[in-house]
Amino acid sequence: MLVGFDGSENSKRALAEAIEIAKRFSAEITAVNVYHIPAGHDLSQRVLEKARVMLEDGEVKFQLVSVLNPDTSRAITEMAKNEKFDLIVVGHRGMSAVKAYLMGSVSKRICSESPVNILIVK
């Protein structure tokens, strides 16, 4: 499973759900944090440390990946395709109708672009 993780409450809920699924099916989780500028690498590592704590507590096999890419949804969908993941798990983030219309949400874009199944956790 590939889990998009940005440290937000929604991504924590998504990771928690992925951990439960991984336990049931003896699956491995790859938690990915996508950062947009080279200077963001250190912050990305700190965010992934939060994921590490959850994953270690959950006692599942895991990997942590930090990716530099200005397009979060594309980075996640390409990673899912290239590395042959079976499932992408992401948190849902609510935004206003106007903002969603103008920008689109990451989860919505992943849903429309993904080559694999997606679980969006609220």
Kindly indicate the confidence band of residue 105, based on its pLDDT and cuts at 50, 70 and 90: confident
- 2-121, CATH topology level: Rossmann fold (3.40.50)
State residue 96's pLDDT score.
38
Give residue 100's pLDDT.
44
Q: What is residue 99's predicted lDDT score, i.e. its pLDDT?
A: 42
The DSSP line for 27-66 is --EEEEEEESSGGGHHHHHHHHHHHHHHHHHHT--EEEEE
**pLDDT digits over 23-66, tens only?**
999 999 999 999 999 999 999 999 999 999 999 999 999 999 99
**Amino acid letter, residue 19:** I
Interior CA angle at 22 toward 5 and 36, to 5°?
15
Mean pLDDT of 96-100: 42
